[in-house]
Amino acid sequence: MFIQRFEEITILTNGVNLISLTDSIEKFVKSSEIVNGILNLSILHTSASLIIQENADPDVQKDLINFYDKLAPMSNDLYIHSTEGKDDMPSHIKSSLTNTNLAVSIKDYKVQLGTWQGIFLFEHRLERQKRKVFLHIIGEK
Size of the site for a second copy (CB under 8 A): 57
Site for a second copy in 116-135 (CB under 8 A): 116-117, 132, 134
Interaction of residue 97 with a second copy, rule CB under 8 A:
yes
Indicate which single residue of 14, 31, 75, 96 sits in contact with a second copy (rule: CB under 8 A): 96
Indicate which single residue of 29, 32, 74, 95 sits in contact with a second copy (rule: CB under 8 A): 95
Interaction of residue 114 with a second copy, rule CB under 8 A:
yes
Whether 60 contacts 54, CB under 8 Å: yes
CB of 96 to a second copy, least distance (A): 5
Q: Rounded to whole angstroms, how far apart are CA atoms 119 and 36?
A: 19
Site for a second copy, rule CB under 8 A: 2, 4, 6, 36-38, 40, 42-46, 51-54, 57, 59-60, 62-64, 66-67, 71-72, 79-81, 83, 89, 92-93, 95-105, 107, 112-117, 132, 134, 136, 138-140
